[in-house]
Every structure is written in structure tokens, then in C-alpha cells.
Amino acid sequence: MSSLADASGTQDRVSPVKPLPRTRRRPHILPYALALPIVLYEIALIVYPIAQGIYGSFQQIELASNSPPTWVGLANYQRMFSDPDFWQVMKTTLIFTVLVIIVAIGTGLMTALLFNRDFRFRSVARAMLMLPWAFPEVPVVMIFVWILSPQFGVVNILARMIPGVTENPQWLQIPILAMGWVVLISSWKAFPFYSLVILAALQSVPQEIYEAAKVDGATPLQLFWHITIPSIRTTLELLVVLASIFSFKQFTIIYLMTGGGPSGATETIVMRIFNTAFRFYDYSYATAFGVAGFIVSLVITFFFISLQSRRAEERA
């Protein structure tokens, strides 16, 4: 691209001198003064509580009795690793996260390819597609609870079309269906965002490459695998990591749809931390689970950062 611009001479006309990098001004105390309040603020409200949580995972905290916490060493961790539920929760978290990534990014990619084509009312259709993303989570849950009502839910009309289904299913009482719906609802809410990002990436692929390949007799499938996918690959990788963070964090939808049930079928680690702390009031044990969740999210964040810096290098 840049070599093309150089060849046509446009770059020389716009700025005869190579522009200085953006960050050219003298070093100063000012940026530190600007950043300091933000760093302090985030330390007070995010870093310090997390440190407290890690510290608390080595203690036994009884909030109700107001007695001082006692130091118990690794007891909470010993309990956690010997708890068969721990591995179950980890497995559920993995299944939920992977399914949401596949469904949400898959749908996002397909809709982006579709909406990248030319048709009338395209801008209207695109705006409509963004609606689920713009909706707050609580009303989204309200809508789906109503749609899935075994008594009057509209989705039953569809289910009844399947041969053999003569009664409205108890959608959220059957483990596999409950998991399916939580994944679908989370993906429905998330996919427009991925679609929009992929669409932006698709539009930056130069059309000439496609034209050239078509002249050479490439089939649409070949165009997709050899041009489209490689050109949006870094964007897709970035979105996979981002989606794994977003779905790993997911709380509101699962909590309000199933609460982690039926019998733990949708209990991800985030749900487990909540239930342990605020349903069973076992704060210390919950913080041990919290540390496990913290480590997982740090690992995903690390992937995000390394992908992002690779992307920045590619651009430069």
C-alpha cells in the first residue's frame, strides 16, 4: 500500500518532509502528573482489593461473627484442589467459553461477509444488526426468560415443529438445554460487536487482489481461503482472545438465567465465586477460587497483549 502511494507521488505532495513522530515533545513532569491520579485510582479500587483477596485466601474470614480473621495458610487451596467440584467448574468454564467463542465469532464472521456485499438498505440492516449489542444485559435476560417460558414462551412454537416434541420443554431445567441457551444468549448479545470489527477489517482488504485472482480463475471458495482469511487473520486472532476474556467474565446473563444450575450445569468459575461468597457466605473459600480465576484471566490478558504488539509491529 505505502509503496503504491509513494509511486504515485501523492505522499510527496502532501508532506514533503517526513512527518515527525507524534510523540516528539520534550520530556516533562507533566505526563506523570496526569497519569498519577489514574494509577492511584485504579490501584485503590482494583489492584488493592485483588491484593486483599489474595491475602484473604490464606485466612479464614468470618464476616457474620465479626471475629478477626485467622491465618490458615494453604488450607483453602488444599480444600479447593481436593474438591471434585473445582475441576467440574473449570470444565464448565472451558466449555462455556469455547462454545461462546465459536458461536459468536462464527456468526460475526458470517454476518460480516454477508453485510460486506452490496445491497439496498445495507446501512439500515447493519444498524439493526447492532441492536443486541446495544441492549443492556438485564433486559436481555428479561426478554429471554419470557421467550423461554415453558407455559407461554414463543420459542415453543419452533420446538413443537420438531417431530416427537409434543410438550413445551423445560428449557432451563435440562442441563444441556440450559447450557445451550446461556451460550446462545451470550453469543446473541456479543456477535454484533465481532461482526462490526470483522467488517472493518474486510473493508480494508484491497479489492484489486480479488479482481486479479478472479482473472486467474480462482473460485469463490479459493478467494475466501487464500485471500479473505489471511487478510483478516490477525483481527480474528485478536477477537478470539478478546471473546475469551469477555465470556470468561460473563456474570449477569448466567446468574439471572440459571444461577449456575440446573445442578451446576452452567456454573462457571465466576458463578462459583459468587455462589460460594454470597449464597453460602464462605468468603475465604471464595477468594481461593478468585485467585484461580485471577490467574486464568492474567494468562488470557497476556495473550491479548502479545497479539496486540505483534499487530502493531505488522502495521509499522
- Give 111 or 228: the residue with its C-beta nearer to another protein: 111
Does 223 help bind another protein (rule: CB under 8 A)?
Answer: no
- Give 265 or 286: the residue with its C-beta nearer to another protein: 286
Site residues for another protein, 240-259, by CB under 8 A, read 242, 245, 248-249, 251-252, 255-256
The cell numbers describing 119, all together, are 445491497
Residue 240 beta carbon to another protein: minimum distance, rounded to whole angstroms = 12
Give me the residues paired with residue 146 across strands. none
User: Dihedral (C-alpha) 249, 251, 257, 260: value to the nearest 10 degrees?
Assistant: 90
Q: Which DSSP category does 258 fall into?
A: T
Does 74 help bind another protein (rule: CB under 8 A)?
Answer: no
Q: How far apart are CA 275 and CA 85, in angstroms?
A: 13
Residue the block writes with cell 469463490: 220
Taking CB under 8 A as the rule, which mask of x and - marks residues 2-21 in contact with another protein?
-----------------xx-
Does 100 help bind another protein (rule: CB under 8 A)?
Answer: no
List the one residue out of 312, 260, 282, 298 whose CA is nearest residue 93: 260
269 and 291 in contact (C-beta within 8 Å)?
A: no
Q: How far apart are CA 47 and CA 201, in angstroms?
A: 34
Does 210 help bind another protein (rule: CB under 8 A)?
Answer: no
Among 77, 86, 210, 304, binds another protein (CB under 8 A): 304
Residue the block writes with cell 479489492: 207
Does 119 help bind another protein (rule: CB under 8 A)?
Answer: yes
Residue 142 beta carbon to another protein: minimum distance, rounded to whole angstroms = 4
Q: How many chain residues touch another protein (CB under 8 A)?
A: 100
Site residues for another protein, 19-58, by CB under 8 A, read 19-20, 22-28, 30-32, 34-35, 37-39, 41-42, 45-50, 52-53, 56
> Radius of gyration over alpha carbons of the chain, in Å?
25
Taking CB under 8 A as the rule, which mask of x and - marks residues 126-155 in contact with another protein?
-xxxxxxxxxxxxxx-xxxxxx---xx-x-
- Give 7 or 220: the residue with its C-beta nearer to another protein: 220
List the one residue out of 86, 52, 57, 83 whose CA is nearest residue 72: 57
